[in-house]
Structures are given as structure tokens and as C-alpha cells.
Amino acid sequence: MTSPAGPGPGPGRHILVCGGAGFIGSCFVRDVLARRDGTRITVLDVLTYAGNRANLAPAEADPEQAPRLSFVRGDIADPAAVGPLVARADAVVNFAAESHVDRSILGPEAFLRTGVIGVYVLLEAIRHETELARAGERRTAGGRPMTAPRLLQVSTDEVYGSVEEGSSREGDTLAPRSPYAAAKAAGDLLVGSYRATFDLDVVLTRGANTYGPFQHPEKLIPLVATNALLGMPIPLYGDGLQRRDWLHVTDHAAAIAFVLEHGEPGAIYNVPGGTERANREIVAALLAALGRPWDLVRRVPDRPGHDRRYAMDGARLAALGWRASVPFAAGLAATAAWYRDNAGWWRAIRDAGWDDYYARQYGARIAAGEPVPTPPGWGSTSGAGPTVAVAAFPSVGPAIELDGPEDLGA
Ligand code: NAD
Ligand code: TYD
């Protein structure tokens, strides 16, 4: 087993999780607390439309886990909220972001505030604590000396831009093409600059498209599942042949915990899912899993600047000792079943403030939408077409020789 390079979960460890009420952050919180290893977690989350205390309910309802979890409602761009919390943390994991490409096209400003100013405020707090630690003045409330906190910044494959062929490596040039991806890339560059200038203990992960339970219904997989369950039209952007690499949320959260513990200071780690699919295959598989007809699908005008394909090389993380373990077909089927069985969770979201967004995002496009010809092999338009299920696409490209691990600020 790889030796620890940083403060991962463990007895006596205190992790500040920013954005921990969202989709991936709450999975990280639930899964780390469920290890029952004594790790304490403070969640700092401003609870945007995407933040949801209900995502933390399983941990809050567990008598062993609840005392190890604290929740603070606050903004990562607010130094007064961030400073005292970073002061008590062994590590900070930053999930907080505006995370939806379509919303970044409707209104980019919030993306920049959290993705740039928010990351800067976190870095300044880490820098302050690092200086205290270097002076021997960083202490617990009980007076025990503390080392400098590690920051793990959660980033995305979208910073590499559209990858027509092959797969992105950690040292590749960033080429973001949406305001969301540009804000994330700016955060990555800021983290790198603080590594180069102040020698902070920072690591960065770039995860693939993530799916699983508790994902806000604005994203492709939960949107298709919930619209299908409601019998509503399913918007397929353009030709539906855009390709994404899919990573189950428990794998994504586990990779982040692993990099927090084992990642080399200053290194970036891609976290691929190893499962590349065209969007229309995803839609077909979900409709089949839920027993809903293909004729719900509508071809709608494409997203402006739509990235055609994402794919990452995961050799560096594999060399560190981690790879994804949830098989896509099983993970997708379980996710479809979760949305079928947890209608109360997503109906509460789709009841509150959803209609305005949906009308803005989809109203005119669905009206302009056209039926999509039934894929070959689909049994009938009135029932499931299990033979469509999920075609196997080749996975990511060949492994390539590794660079040294120091990317940030190098
Ligand atoms: P999400 O939208 O479900 O959750 C984001 C959380 O951050 C919410 O709880 C929200 O309330 C909180 N938040 C937003 N702004 C904040 C602020 N200023 N201060 C404090 N909290 C704030 O997003 P997600 O899908 O869980 O993504 C989490 C992270 O992972 C993001 O940084 C995203 O860029 C990255 N990522 C996501 C995916 C994906 O497919 N979902 C893939 C790769 C990387
Ligand atoms: P999304 O879940 O928004 O993730 P991202 O844009 O960050 O990859 O979308 C995944 C893919 O699905 C993307 O190519 C856009 C497409 N898409 C649709 O075709 N219809 C939809 O209703 C949504 C939300 C996405």
C-alpha cells in the first residue's frame, strides 16, 4: 500500500468539507463517516439551489456518525466564515462550486464568484495557517501542535476542453470552453500559483462526469430518469452523439479520499470512470431500465459551445494505487432504481424554484424539438427495449509514460 503523504481520514482527523451538502461532497461525507474510524467532518455550505441538507440525513440519523458531523451554513468567498473553520482543520476538501454548464450559459457570474474568489479565500486561509504552522504557532484548542492543513481542490475533466481523440493527461494545456469550465480552470491555476509562490500543501483531482444517487435533477442522468418517471419529454441536445466518460459517485468520493491521504504535494490526478458512452446510449439505457418508451425523446437545439467528447488518462492515479470499481451497467441500473424509489427526494427539488429554470432552459427548445428515430433493436415504442441497453465503447486510450508528480506551480 502507498504510504500516506497527507492527512486523509482517520482517528482524530478533522476535515473541513466545503460544498458538502451537494451531490459529490455529500457522498464523500456519508462514505467517510460510515467508515466509523473517528474522523470528524465540518461541512461549510452556503446551500445554493443545489445544496441540500437532506443529502446528509443518513449520517445525521446515525447515532455514531452524527456527533462527528457539524454543519455550518456559509460562503467560501467569505473570509470571516472560512478563517475560523480552516484554523481547526487538518485538511480542507473543496467541492463548493456552481456546477452546471447550462446554468453557466444562462448566468456566469455566480460561477466566477465561487470558482475564483471562493478558491482564493480558501487559499489565503490555508496560507495563513501554513505560516502559523511553520512558526510553530498552530495549535489545537487543547494546545497540541498542528501541522499545516492540506487543501484538496476538486476539479473536472472539463478544464481540458473538448477532446476529439485520445485522452487528456494532467500536464495538458487547459482549454475550457464554457463559463463553468473556465471558472474551474481559473481555480486550478490559482491553486497552482499558491503552490509555486507560497509552497502550500495542495493537491488537485479532475473527475469525470459523475452519476449516482442524490444528484440534482438538472444533470443528464437524473433529468432523463425523473422526466421518464413523470412521462415528460426528454431533451436530447443536437445529435446526441456527444461522448462522456462516466464515473460512479462513490468511486469519485473514494478517489478524493485516497488522493487526500496519498497524493504527492503539488500533484494533479485525473479520475476517469473508464466508461465512455454517447449521450443517446445513456438515454436508451435509462429508458430501458425504467420501462419507458423511446418516443419520449426529443431532439432539441444544441447547447452553444457544446464539448463533443471528454476522456482522461488515469495512469497516474492507477500508479498511486487507485482505480474505479463500480461497473457502469450495474451503477446505472442502481441509479435508475434509486430515482424510481426516492421520488420524495427529487420531487421536493422539482417543486421548489424548478419551473422557472426549466421554462428558461427548455421551454422554447422542447417546443422546437423533434422526435428522434427509434434506435435499431428497440423492441417497441410503448415499452422498454432492453436489447438497446448499453453498447460497449472502447475505453480511454493507452497508458503513457508518467511525468513527475509536481504539476501545480511547476
Ligand atoms: P453540486 O452543484 O451538486 O454541489 C455543489 C455544492 O456547493 C452545493 O451544496 C452548493 O450549495 C455548494 N456551494 C456552491 N457555492 C458555494 C459557496 N460559494 N460557498 C459554499 N458552498 C457553496 O455539485 P457536484 O456535482 O457535487 O460537484 C462538486 C464538485 O465536483 C464541483 O467543484 C464540480 O466542479 C466538481 N465535479 C463535478 C462533476 C460532476 O459530474 N458532477 C465532475 C467532476 C468534477
Ligand atoms: P450534463 O449532465 O449537463 O454534464 P456536462 O455538460 O457537464 O457534461 O450533460 C451531460 C451531457 O448530456 C452533455 O453532453 C449535455 C447532454 N444533455 C442532454 O443532451 N440533454 C439534457 O437535458 C442535459 C441536461 C444534458
Q: What is the pLDDT of residue 25?
A: 98
194 CA distance to ligand 2 middle (Å) = 33
Cβ neighbours of residue 186 under 8 Å, at least 6 residues apart? 112, 115, 116, 119
CB 249 within 8 A of CB 213: yes
**Ligand 2 atom, smallest distance to 279 CA:** 12
Could you tell me the CA-to-CA distances from 123 to 206, 311, 347 in Å, in that order?
18, 29, 37
Indicate if 358 belongs to the active site: no
Q: What is the rounded distance in angstroms from the CA atom of residue 14 to the CA atom of residue 36?
A: 13
DSSP code string of 136-187: T--B-TTS-B-PPPEEEEEEEGGGG---SSS-B-TTSPP---SHHHHHHHHH
Q: What is the pLDDT of residue 10?
A: 86
217 CA distance to ligand 2 middle (Å) = 11
C-beta 210 within 6 A of ligand 1:
yes
Hey, whose CA ends up nearest to atom 11 of ligand 2?
A: 220
Of 17, 23, 178, 312, the one to substitute when testing ligand 1's pocket (max ligand atoms within 8 A of C-beta) is 23
C-beta 251 within 6 A of ligand 1:
no
Indicate if 157 belongs to the active site: yes
Biggest alpha carbon distance in the chain? 71
Q: What is the pLDDT of residue 394?
A: 25
- Give kind and range of the element (H or E) at residue 276: strand 276-278
Q: What is the pLDDT of residue 397?
A: 27
φ/ψ of 355, rounded to 5, equals: -60, -40
C-beta 234 within 6 A of ligand 2:
no
Active-site option among 157, 218, 251, 264: 157
Cβ neighbours of residue 52 under 8 Å, at least 6 residues apart? 21, 22, 26, 214, 216, 349
Q: What is the pLDDT of residue 16?
A: 98
Of 72, 99, 214, the one to substitute when testing ligand 1's pocket (max ligand atoms within 8 A of C-beta) is 99
Mean pLDDT in runs of 10 for the chain (410 residues)?
A: 76 96 98 97 98 97 98 98 98 98 97 98 98 97 94 98 97 98 98 98 98 98 98 97 98 98 98 97 97 97 97 98 96 98 96 89 93 78 40 26 57
Of 249, 279, 280, the one to substitute when testing ligand 2's pocket (max ligand atoms within 8 A of C-beta) is 279
Of 199, 214, 201, 205, which Cα lies nearest the Cα of 258? Answer: 205
Task: Write down all domains in the chain, each with its CATH number in brackets.
Answer: 14-371 (3.40.50.720)
